[in-house]
Structure 1
Amino acid sequence: MLIITAEKMKKLLPMKEAIEAVKEAYKMVSEGKCYVPLRTNISAERHGGQILFMPGYVDGIGFAGVKIVSVYPENAKKGLPSVPATMVLIDGTTGIVKAVMDGTYLTRLRTGAASGAATELLAKKDAKKAILFGTGGQAREQLWALLSVRKLEEVYVCSRDFEKAKEFAGRMSREFEDYGAKITAVEKADGVLSEVDIITTATTSRTPVFDGSLVKKGVHINAIGSFTPEMQELPEEVVLKADRVFVDSREACLAEAGDLIVPMKKGLMGEEKITGEIGEVLLGKIRGRTSEDEITIFKSVGIAVQDIVTAAKIYEKAVEQGLGSNLEI
């Protein structure tokens, strides 16, 4: 059994390869080549946290796994990750655990890759400006993914804490300078929303994080932060006026995605608002963007098959390159 740290994982799988892995995962979901029950979500209400168990078996690659991921927003005040996680990768043919790896980084990588895949498929080819809401644990990989699939000139960063947004923008400007994009912190998003071609929300907010009336035609939106029926990053207005809405898993989003469930419960829209799964676009079963003026949304709650396929790629490369630490039990 291999133990693979986050630092080793960063060396093993760059974002572009992670995006390709997630595309394969989405195709297998839509083809029914995996068994992925809905995650088990246990509330640790006294500590303001939630603990999620995400199991799955991916017949298409012969691996199974379970990711244990917790969401504890108050951890940031303690200098701890707000979304700590551990991934256990299992050989689907023998049931033997093959690797244990840093699930926190895996979550960031595959979630960024999910937005990257959706942006590559749905955003306008000539997209030049984007805005990222949130500067927490997910933010770096979300930014990396956007820069990997579009030649962006400017990315705005918006957070509840403007000082944190400025620090993040400065750090990312140095880290990703080779991509050539200007990364700028904004205290309020209203002044730039009408300019951007891509919006990505990566927060734990329970209320919408931007004004839906300000978005322009042709914008693509990645909504990846909310993962419970009560969490809602997207304003209902923008969901209602979206031309095409894609999800990672129809079943999972109808059970967990507050961005869709809240307006449905209010009777503002029905399930037919969902155009289809992103895997169906990749398989050519449905079309993605069909015009330059369409507003497209990708809503993701995250599914275990993303973790398993990405973890399997990391494990296989670790074996090839002799990275990771062996553990016998």
Structure 2
Amino acid sequence: MGTQSIPPFTVISGATVHDVLAGRQQELTDLVEQAYLLHGSGETTNPPSYFLRFPDKPSSRIIALPAAVRGDVRVDGIKWVSSYPENIEHGIPRASAVLLLNDAATGYPYACLEGSIISAVRTAASAAVAVRHLARGRAPLTNVGFFGAGLIARYLHEYLAALGPAFDRIGVHDLSEDYARGFADHVEQTSPGSSVRVHGSARDLVSSYDMVVFATTAASPHVTDPSWFSHNPLVLHVSLRDLSPEVVLASTNVVDDVEHVLKADTSVHLAEQRTGRRDFVHATLPEVISGRFRPEPGRPVVFSPFGLGVLDLVVGDYVHRRAAEDGGATTVEDFFYDTDRHRRPDRVRAARNGGAL
């Protein structure tokens, strides 16, 4: 066994994370696709997420997503992400996150990264991977409607647009007219060849586009009529709780991980509770990527990704490596205190003999 050492501990700011990831949509989509294949082949560990809730703040939560990735990546870690909806009333973002990376050989944490941008990128790249493979055999997807117009929707638009070709039509609907108009203005600036429309009606938005993206903060289903989907769109159900069980059961359903998504009252979890079965979940995304599943025509196709911690780790490891190369990672000297004493010969001998001094 080779000599092991404690890796230096670094901190990587949100500004650096943004700079590393900007403009690399194709590369990151490929990276996330490879992470899904590792997950599908059993080379990851992705335990259930842990939810910290508060009796005095019932709408708020902090979620822990531990995970480990092997293959060529070999990184462990955890994302610690909070959601405090009332923050918006005080003029600060609802969500914040950090990502900790641990060395697979020693277990020592070696990097703390701002996590919200990594989370948004891995979510958008995940959706792009789904479209890349689920759209095969369909007519070209030349139009898309966004239900929800927050930050995640902007990243989703960016990554879906990078797949090409350019969208002819883009629609948006949001309960906040200001959010909807702000998103529409953003799309008009970044996709100058597209016709952009703000829809005041949820039904009008859903029924008007061949691809529909749900990126809301809804806590329970609010889209309940399967007839809205009679044109059989490809649906990216990123926010997980918008669709009623009736809509889910009338669709072909693809998820990223069955055990993870069938919990926490997601729409597919509610469908399982309603029916007592799981056979309405037709495939996982790794099965679609590998060609083991192709959706039959004549039904809406709904992709519901719970959001796997392994994706955060793979993207975070990518950011750490590039930031370290480019000088964007700040090393915290002597972060781990008093480690030299373990290098004493007597302690090394004791450790090898399974004892302690």
Verify same fold: TM over 0.5: yes
The unaligned stretches of length 5 or more in structure 1 are 227-231
Opposite residue 157 of structure 1, the aligned amino acid is V
Matches of 2:211 and 2:264 in 1, distance apart? 24
> What is the Cα deviation at residue 247 of structure 1?
0.7
Q: Which residues of 2 match residues 176-191 of structure 1 at below 5 A?
A: 176-177=190-191, 180-191=193-204
Which residue in the other structure is 1:229 paired with? none
Which residue in the other structure is 2:282 paired with? 275
Say yes or no: does 1:171 pair with 2:186: yes
Which residue in the other structure is 1:289 paired with? 295
TM-score between both structures, scaled by the size of structure 1: 0.90
Opposite residue 221 of structure 1, the aligned amino acid is V
Opposite residue 52 of structure 2, the aligned amino acid is I
Residue 202 of structure 2: SS of its match in structure 1? coil
Pick aligned residue for 1:199 from 212, 215, 222: 212
For structure 1, which segment, 315-324 or 106-115, has the greater mean C-alpha deviation from structure 2 after superposition?
A: 315-324
Residue 77 of structure 1: SS of its match in structure 2? helix
Opposite residue 129 of structure 2, the aligned amino acid is A
Structure 1 contact 127–150 (Cα < 8 Å) conserved: no
Count, aligned residues = 318
Instruction: Report the structure number with the largest CA radius of gyration.
Output: 2
Q: Once the two structures are superposed, what CA deviation does each residue of 1:153-195 show, in whole Å capped at 9, x if it has no partner?
A: 1221111111221122112322x236x3333322213224322
For structure 1, which segment, 47-56 or 92-101, has the greater mean C-alpha deviation from structure 2 after superposition?
A: 92-101
Matches of 1:18 and 1:125 in 2, distance apart? 25
Which residue in the other structure is 2:345 paired with? none
Pick aligned residue for 2:159 from 120, 145, 157: 145
Matches of 1:155 and 1:216 in 2, distance apart? 19
Pick aligned residue for 2:49 from 36, 39, 45: 39
Say yes or no: does 1:159 pair with 2:166: no
Opposite residue 321 of structure 1, the aligned amino acid is D
Opposite residue 194 of structure 2, the aligned amino acid is A
Residue 70 of structure 1: SS of its match in structure 2? strand
Pick aligned residue for 1:250 from 254, 258, 263: 258
Matches of 1:193 and 1:222 in 2, distance apart? 12
Which residue in the other structure is 1:318 paired with? 323
Matches of 2:11 and 2:119 in 1, distance apart? 17
Q: Which residues of 2 match residues 2-81 of structure 1 at below 5 A?
A: 2-13=10-21, 14-47=24-57, 48-60=59-71, 61-81=73-93
Matches of 2:25 and 2:262 in 1, distance apart? 28
> What is the Cα deviation at residue 266 of structure 1?
1.9
> What is the Cα deviation at residue 18 of structure 1?
2.0
The unaligned stretches of length 5 or more in structure 2 are 1-8, 336-357
Matches of 1:81 and 1:192 in 2, distance apart? 26
Q: Once the two structures are superposed, what CA deviation does each residue of 1:11-40 show, in whole Å capped at 9, x if it has no partner?
A: 222222221121112111111101111011
Per the alignment, do residues 324 and 173 of structure 1 end up closer, same or farther by CA in structure 2, a change over 3 Å counting? farther
Q: CA RMSD in A?
A: 1.9
Opposite residue 106 of structure 1, the aligned amino acid is I
